[in-house]
Structure 1
Amino acid sequence: MFDDFLIRAALAGIGVALAAGPLGSFVVWRRMAYFGDATSHAAILGVALALALDLPVGLGTLAVALAMAVTVATLAARGWAMDTTLGVLAHAALAVGLVAVSFVPGARGDLSTWLFGDILAVSKADLAFIWGGAALVLGLILWRWSALLTATLNEDLAAASGLNPDRERLILTLALALTVAVALKVVGALLIAAMLIIPAATARGLARSPETMAVLAALVGAAAVLGGLGLSLGADTPAGPSIVAVAALAFALSVSLGALRRGG
């Protein structure tokens, strides 16, 4: 039988995949990959603040990720050049966070945990936080699915239909911040964006509808979690990077399959 820590790790990873799959589909459709990087890098600053103030790390991470997401969404609505702005914010947030962590006593030794995740150390409390956050993300997406999809396809059409594109963008940024907070312990700040983008990009080449893509992205993410944990257990490799590596392999296979179909 599997050890308890491995079962908790698998459940934690699947919880993250269920949230990251549908959300990652919108990230891919809207070309928000760099947005995900900026938000996830800001999470390190949230870790530093939480440790310094003796608060739950998830709470600090969520607060800073929300602040970053709202800031970026506000700048986007005002017409700022997003590639440059996100590049500055992403790297600045990561650098400031790493510097801040260095001032927290005893935190330096745990730095790799926050950068690359430590899914094998997930506790029952972490599991409750991850699944609670994933449920909120899924609830938000299901609640606003039609509106989010319309605003993603054409903002002018969304406005003509009585929708507020800025509001839908804000809902996505809030969901993204929450996903970053719940995924930090699983894959770390440097790999969160990969779990948002790679499963969704894999599903894009296989799906024939937005709904199918969202479901497939969640399934690909969950399969990558289980495959990555198996690789980590069998080859003694880091769990978080192993999960992303398996997801990348799935993407490569989907691209090859798509090429074969077009060739045929």
Structure 2
Amino acid sequence: MLDDFMVRAGLAGIGTALAAAPLGCFVVWRRMAYFGDATAHAALLGVALSLAFQGPIMLGVLATALIMALMVQGLSGRGLAEDTLLGVLAHAALAIGLVAVSFLSGARMDLMGYLFGDILAVTVFDLGLIWAGAAAVIGLLAWRWQRLLTATLNPDLAQASGISSRAEQMVLTIALALTVAVAIKAVGALLIGALLIIPPAAARPLARTPEAMALITAAIGSGAAIAGLGSSFQFDTPTGPTIVCVAAALFCLTAIAGRLRA
């Protein structure tokens, strides 16, 4: 069954959506959209370093995404507004990655794939990495779910309960780096932020509890991946951007439904 490239692509899209779903909810709740973009843009530098040293792409992406996330966390609150700091680091990392890739012979086609995703070229090995990464992200967030919720929704209660907001932020940082490493093969560095934000934003009007929002987000993300893959195959459009377009269309539908219910 896994010899069929469309089956592999579909499974890769679902695995990516499942990894992004619970984390995306925290990104929306904590207003961390720029944080996700900065980490995703830094992933391109990891691709360049991996190609230069002929190492595993996912390992290089994971390392640079984690370093970027730690840099943002360490530098925030030291004279610059957080959104300014994120903008500087995100664009600098993306520019450095693009410049670094330009020095690598034969890397131009790889660059387009890692910028916008190449889900149709996912191998069985890539599929295993994607699902292993998704399982790690889901397991990490499930383990810390209540503590993360408390630190996110009621910081005063978290402090009174002895929950360290900085430690929970570190958990989200690690999960974000893992998700970026998982998703870069499927949707690319420039579209990972959209995959983290749009499905939970679409699920928000339909959910009454945080757990329900995470489950609805997973369903919307998986549905967008499958529908985007089918639309891309039917209309011969880029797969990663098509998946994001479908997710955006679902967001519009749920936003309208939420307004009608209100």
Q: Which band: TM-score by shorter chain?
A: over 0.9
Structural RMSD (CA):
1.3
How far is 1:77 from its partner? 6.3
Q: Distance in 2 between matches of 1:236 and 1:169?
A: 41
How far is 1:110 from its partner? 1.9
Q: Is the 8 A contact 2:43 2:61 kept in 1?
A: yes
Q: Distance in 1 between matches of 2:124 and 2:107?
A: 22
- The reply to whether residue 195 of structure 1 matches residue 232 of structure 2 is no
Q: Is the 8 A contact 1:134 1:179 kept in 2?
A: yes
Matching of residues 83-232 of structure 1 within 5 Å: 83-232=83-232
How far is 1:104 from its partner? 1.1
Q: Distance in 1 between matches of 2:116 and 2:109?
A: 13
Name the structure 1 match of 2:69.
69
Query: TM-score of the superposition, structure 1-length normalised?
Result: 0.97
Q: What is the identity, as a one-letter code, of the residue corresponding to 1:125? A: F
Name the structure 2 match of 1:58.
58
Q: Is the 8 A contact 1:134 1:182 kept in 2?
A: yes
Stretches of structure 1 lacking an aligned partner (at least 5 in a row): none
Q: Distance in 2 between matches of 1:117 and 1:133?
A: 17
Stretches of structure 2 lacking an aligned partner (at least 5 in a row): none
How far is 1:260 from its partner? 1.4
SS in 2 for 1:26: helix
Q: Distance in 1 between matches of 2:5 and 2:212?
A: 32
Q: Is the 8 A contact 1:202 1:217 kept in 2?
A: yes
Q: Is the 8 A contact 1:27 1:33 kept in 2?
A: yes
How far is 1:109 from its partner? 2.4
Name the structure 2 match of 1:7.
7
Residues 71-92 of structure 1: CA distance to partner in whole angstroms, max 9, x if unpaired? 1122236575111000101111
Name the structure 1 match of 2:20.
20
Name the structure 2 match of 1:82.
82
Q: Is the 8 A contact 1:18 1:221 kept in 2?
A: yes
Q: Distance in 1 between matches of 2:94 and 2:4?
A: 33
Q: Distance in 2 between matches of 1:141 and 1:78?
A: 29
SS in 1 for 2:162: coil
Q: Is the 8 A contact 1:232 1:242 kept in 2?
A: yes
SS in 1 for 2:206: coil
Aligned length in residues: 262
Q: Is the 8 A contact 2:46 2:97 kept in 1?
A: yes
Q: Distance in 1 between matches of 2:2 and 2:179?
A: 27
Q: What is the identity, as a one-letter code, of the residue corresponding to 2:188? A: G
Query: TM-score of the superposition, structure 2-length normalised?
Result: 0.97
Q: Distance in 1 between matches of 2:189 and 2:54?
A: 20
Q: Distance in 1 between matches of 2:148 and 2:73?
A: 15
Name the structure 1 match of 2:259.
259
Q: Is the 8 A contact 2:2 2:124 kept in 1?
A: no
**CA 1:106 to 1:117, structure 2 compared with 1: closer, same or farther past 3 Å?**
same
Name the structure 2 match of 1:42.
42
